[in-house]
Amino acid sequence: MTDKDARRRYSSKVVDGLEKAAARAMLHAVGFSDEDFAKPQVGIASTWSNLTPCNMHIDTLADAAAMGAAEAGGKPVTFNTITVSDGISMGSPGMRYSLVSREVIADSIETVVGAQGFDGFVAIGGCDKNMPGCAMAIARLDRPAVFVYGGTIQPGKERRDVISVFEAVGKRAAGKLSDIELKEIESTAIPGPGSCGGMYTANTMASAIEAMGLSLPNSSAQDAISQHKRQDSYAAGAAVVNLLELGIRPSDILCREAFENAITVTIALEGSTNAVLHLLAIAHAAGIPLSLDDFARIGKRVPVLADMRPAGQYAMSELIAIGGIQPLMKTLLDAGLLHGDCLTVTGRTLAENLADVAPYPQEQKIIRPLSDPIKKDSHLVILYGNLAPEGAVAKITGHEGLSFTGTARCFHGEEAALAAILDGKVRKGDVVVVRYEGPRGGPGMREMLSPTSAINGRGLSSDVALITDGRFSGGSHGFVIGHVTPEAFDGGPIALLEDGDSITVDAETCTISVAVDDAELERRRAAWQRPAPYATRGILAKYAKLVSSASKGAVTDLEL
């Protein structure tokens, strides 16, 4: 096989030879010329839809990526996969499908690329689960591939974003806003295309994937509607053809050190707790050992440097204006906190990509210097204890304090907890326990953005904690602990809590405990009964049957 033939490792099996005439006939009908059959085929996996601002513009980015692949000598073929909107489904039964969609996206890209024999592909994502879903497919298929982030939204009026609306609901319930004021916020917070504007899950995962080496430099830090983002998409198409020429596959990029780089950048940016769940899942797809303890280990030496929403002040568009994440990565690299010898989709190492990156402007206030961090170690705190023997994930920035002891207020599901918060039944000193929201019990591990936003909107963020076997939106802030494992549906200790139990969370000792002795917990366990499953057929039932613990990334192929 010649070097040129090697670029067509997969497509040649689909279109070459006398016996593949029928396949060629089908492809002629969709626009293939005779010359196209000799070119490497590059799939363009688009998550376009008009159901969410995050993805409404991605068709134009897919077109740009296809053009880049074609002009580099490939034959692009565009196909779609799904998205769902976390922001729209939040607080409703539909949110159960959010994490499920990550698996559907990964499965569908793997299915199309594998079935059609694409030699490489570009994957373009906008909403939260698009990023890890695309990256999981890239890792599984191990064909030359580049991820493109759809880009961030512009701030709304008075620098508002979607979290402004969620928190306004809590303020309205507390009597701090009128109906007219709430409506005005609702109408002006989302001005157009792009993913939610803080360091929420979409921007966190886009940054982590760039740090991992699967995106072109600065792909994570571009406005959705900009020439820079169109150029990034075009360049990604060409980059896949270059990777085919060089013979570089994701397995050459996704080493353990690449995941450590992703964790480091996530911490420095004060990113979403969802990064823990998603990086574990991508590592599983890549066959790279990664555990909760790796986040704890790295977190001891990496500071929080970005003053970004939700805990901080600034939006992603403002970080873009001063240079994006590349100068931050250069700072981390120079400090010995990144592995510079990791290969990336440019065909160069991370250190080579960062060699000529200029520092941030001196007057900027978004990214702190290493000598003056927001927090000297990670805000992503991995907790263990008699309430979470297999681990839990807290987002503790320091603004909330480093420990909390309070009285359990237990709720079966998000809706019951939200109603109690909005009705003023949750008070200072309470620990809101939202259970049966784990990967199996939810199913789907819903995000608790509505309850946490209601707590913040009522002015209780410093006085109330919330723990759950579900998870949190990247927009959540306050004293919040999620991913409690084992989950309640599996009989974990969170299922055994009772109103009035004293719960302590300590970020310095990394513990989460309930002041109930082992004998009493065993008595309660003997009396506990698993509730009926939420779904008994369809995708939610299949997901609940297959999904792993959150501490393993909530993947659906762990035991296969």
Dihedral angle sign, alpha carbons of residues 238, 244, 246, 248: positive
Residue 45 lies in a domain: yes
CB 370 within 8 A of CB 305: yes
> Tell me, what CATH number does 128's domain have?
3.40.50.2300
pLDDT at residue 428 tops 70: yes
Bridge partners, residue 536, by sequence: none
**Lowest-confidence region among 140-149, 373-382, 471-480:** 471-480
- When divided into structural domains, the chain yields a total of 2
Q: Worst-scoring range by mean pLDDT, 60-69, 127-136, 465-474, 512-521?
A: 465-474
Q: What is the CATH number of the domain that holds 491?
A: 3.50.30.80
Question: Residues 207, 220, 450, 473: which is the catalytic one?
Answer: 473
Flag whether pLDDT at 477 surpasses 90: no
**C-beta of residue 219 within 8 angstroms of C-beta of residue 325:** no
Task: Give me the mean pLDDT over the 284-291 stretch.
Answer: 98
Q: Specify the pTM.
A: 0.96
Domain hosting 229: range is 39-154+192-249+273-286
Residue 397 — pLDDT band, cuts 50, 70, 90? confident
271 contacts 207 by C-beta, under 8 angstroms: yes
Q: So what's the pLDDT on residue 4? A: 57
User: Would you say residue 111 has pLDDT above 90?
Assistant: yes
pLDDT digits (tens, 9 = 90+) for 190-210: 999 999 999 999 999 999 999
The answer to whether residue 221 sits within a structural domain is yes
Average pLDDT over residues 473-498: 93
* Same domain (yes/no): 113, 241: yes
Q: What are the two backbone dihedrals, phi and then psi, of residue 354, each rounded to the nearest 5 degrees? A: -95, -5
Q: Is 473 an annotated catalytic residue?
A: yes
Shared domain for 278 and 396, answered yes or no, is: no
The answer to whether residues 112 and 244 belong to one domain is: yes
Q: Indicate the residue among 286, 308, 338 that finishes a domain.
A: 286
> Considering only CA atoms, which of 122, 130, 121 is closest in space to residue 85?
130
How confident is residue 1, by pLDDT bands cut at 50, 70 and 90? Answer: very low
For residue 453, pLDDT over 90 is answered with: no
User: What Å distances lie between residue 165 and 211, 454, 475, CA to CA?
Assistant: 31, 10, 11
Mean of the per-residue pLDDT values of the chain: 96
Q: pLDDT tens digits for 11-31?
A: 999 999 999 999 999 999 999
